[in-house]
Amino acid sequence: MGEVPISWYLTLSAILFVLGVAGFVFRRSIITVFMSIELMLNAVNLSFIAFSYQHQQVNGHLFAFFVMVVAAAEAAVGLAIILTVFKNRQTLNIDDISSMKD
Amino acid sequence: MDVILFLLFAIIAVVCAINVVVQTHPISSALSLVGVMGSLAVLYLLLGAEFIAAAQLIVYAGAIMVLFIFVIMLLNAGAEGKRGRSFMASLLGVPLLVALLGLLAYFVQRVFPTARVHFGGFKGGSPRDVGLALFTTYLLPFEITSLLILIAIIGAVVLARKEMD
């Protein structure tokens, strides 16, 4: 049975998090930006599970569980906000939704 | 065997995550995100988190992504346009992101140089153990979570309801 260093799991988590940040910063579609946030939350969950293994405790699983619950609530509210924005502006491009900046 | 499974699903996860970022059509991004979540569920199983792996598949890949795809269909979202991409953003952003990744990877290697994972090394992730911790140590956060979901449901209904004439 081979063994995987735990730093590989954490490095994978870092790679996924950085890709999520890249999507958040570079993408223009509001839905894809929202999906990048979910990707970042997933990356952090992987860290929690890996640390839970490292310390042989179940607490990290509970944190990951709560992150999932908060992500579900966030997705429901966020997608409702996207629907409302689209109803009022007829656009999904975040560059066109800048009335708070002006 | 562990190494092969880890590398296989890690590569699937990274390729799908890159696909999420580079695809221009939201539906392609959403389906790639399902791939990321599925391979992460397998990695959770390798780390001994059986309950979280099941919850990941049911809640994330099942519920949340269906919600996303439903909204994409509802809004008839097409491919995003090329305009508005600032040259300066990629010029500064990409090196900064690579630097962030390098720093994270460096500290991870520094802090955990020897710790290793093998399948079956942690047996505390079954639904029984998670439920036991959830209803004893974490009872108050669990109850507050139900309140949070209630607020989220009411907020979603209020935000997305049809305007009354």
Give the closest-approach CA distance of B165 to chain A in angstroms: 16
Interface test with A, best of B47, B76, B148 (most A CBs within 10 A): B47
The residue range of the domain holding A68 is 6-89
In the block, which residue shows the tokens 């569920």?
A: B41
Q: Do A6 and B117 touch (CB under 8 A)?
A: yes
Q: pLDDT tens across B97-156, in order?
A: 899 999 998 888 888 777 788 887 788 888 999 999 999 999 999 999 999 999 999 999
Contact B59 A68 (CB under 8 A): yes
Structural domain spans, chain B: 1-79+117-122, 126-165
Residue A79 lies in a domain: yes
pLDDT digits (tens, 9 = 90+) for A46-100: 999 999 998 888 999 999 999 999 999 999 999 999 988 888 888 888 888 877 7
Mutate to test the interface with B, among A11, A12, A95, A97 (most CBs of B within 10 A): A12
Say how far apart CA A5 and CA B47 lie, in whole Å: 12
Number of A to B CB contacts under 8 A, please give it.
248
A63 located within any domain? yes
- Residue at A44 is within a domain: yes
Helix (H, G, I), strand (E, B) or coil at B82: coil
Mutation target to probe the B interface, by most B beta carbons within 10 A, among A58, A67, A87 is: A58
Number of domains in chain A: 1
In a domain, A100, yes or no: no
Is the model's pLDDT at A36 over the cut of 90?
A: yes
* CATH classification (class only), B1-79+117-122: mainly alpha
CATH number, position A81? 1.10.287.3510
Provide the whole-model pTM. 0.90
CA distance B83 to chain A (A): 9
CA distance A40 to A42: 5
Nearest beta carbon to residue B71 from set A21, A65, A82: A82
Model confidence at B82, pLDDT cuts 50, 70, 90, reads low
Contact between chains at A49 and B77 (C-beta distance less than 8 A): no
- Please answer yes or no on whether B77 and A29 come within 8 Å at the CB atom: yes
Q: B118, B2 in Cβ contact below 8 A? A: yes
- Hey, what's the torsion of the CAs at B75, B80, B86, B92, to 10 degrees? 90
DSSP letters spanning A62-102: HHHHHHHHHHHHHHHHHHHHHHHHHHHHS--BTTT--TTT-
Report CA B103 to chain centroid distance, whole Å. Answer: 22
Residue A102 covered by a domain: no
Residue A57 lies in a domain: yes
